[in-house]
Amino acid sequence: MTKIMTALVIFTAVSLLMLGSLALTVKNNAESAISMENANNIQSQWTHKVISSVLEGTEPSVELNATECEFAKWNASFGEAAIEDGSVQAAFDLVMSIHAELHAIAGEAIAADAENRMLVIDTLIYKQKELSENMSIVSAYYAAQEKKIYSAFVMVINFSLIVNILLAILTPRYIRKTSKKLSDTIANPINAVAKWATDLAMGSDDLNFEDAQTSLGEINQMIEAFQVMA
């Protein structure tokens, strides 16, 4: 019983640690998926503003430097993508490459004459679509990871509930068993010693010391002392 109780308690403690780790991973993947979608919207808006400016013949109201724009700032804050799937990692790397191309093409569109302007704009639109498709691949990956890890999270919770139910059932039985063991080991011998003391005080010389030994050395020493006194 003791080993079972110990194993259940250890499992509960480990489960709590696992739940904390899984919850954090689920949160990170959910935030990454949302972050990718937001970044895709930022870049789409940037491209739209560049195209509008070129068609209107006005100065673009967006940052044309590929390392200073909002998308670049997002990438810097996002950090290194934690992607285990090689094809998804390739899509993420391609996104950053396409982003640099978009800025180069935007510069060409602004400088192009009326005859070539639409051709450059078409290229800009095509590249933006390609970037969005690859961003969607990465975003879908993070969303899928979130669902996968959440399933594991729920499974651990269910196992933990089962273990806690077992603990709730076994703990009272364990306490009763332990209490009886303590009673047999300590309380009963001490009660016997108290009876011997009373009998000895009454002048009795017929004390029964049979089955008086216990597993505790200190109690045994007290019993042996009374045997000597008797």
Task: Give 61's DSSP letter.
Answer: S
Which residue carries 């180069």 as its tokens?
Answer: 104
Q: Which residues of 6-22 are buried (b: 16+ CB within 10 A; e: fewer)?
A: eebeebeeebeebeeeb
Domain ranges of the chain: 2-167, 183-229
Give the Cα separation of 193 and 201 in Å (integer).
12
Q: 60 — phi, psi (to 5°)?
A: -60, 140
- DSSP secondary structure string for all residues of 69-83: SHHHHHHHHH-S---
Could you count the other beta carbons within 10 Å of the beta carbon of residue 160? 17
- 200 or 25: which leads in pLDDT: 25
pLDDT band of 131, cuts 50, 70, 90? very high
Token pair of 135 as six digits: 């961003």
Question: Reduced to 3 states, what is the DSSP secondary structure of residue 157?
Answer: helix
> What is residue 83's predicted lDDT score, i.e. its pLDDT?
82
CB neighbourhood size of 210 (10 A)? 5
Helical (H) or strand (E) element with 29: helix 2-56
CATH class in words for 2-167: mainly alpha
For the beta carbon of residue 62, count every other beta carbon within 10 angstroms. Answer: 15
Q: Are 226 and 197 in contact (CB under 8 A)?
A: yes
- Encode pLDDT of 5-56 as tens digits: 566 566 666 766 777 777 788 888 888 899 999 999 999 999 999 999 998 8
187: pLDDT strictly greater than 60 = no
Instruction: Count CA atoms within 13 Å of residue 52 on its CB side.
Output: 9
Using a cut of 0.85, tell me whether the model's pTM lies above it.
Answer: no
Confidence of residue 214 (pLDDT cuts 50, 70, 90): low
pLDDT tens, residue by residue, 90-124:
999 999 999 999 999 999 998 888 888 899 999 99
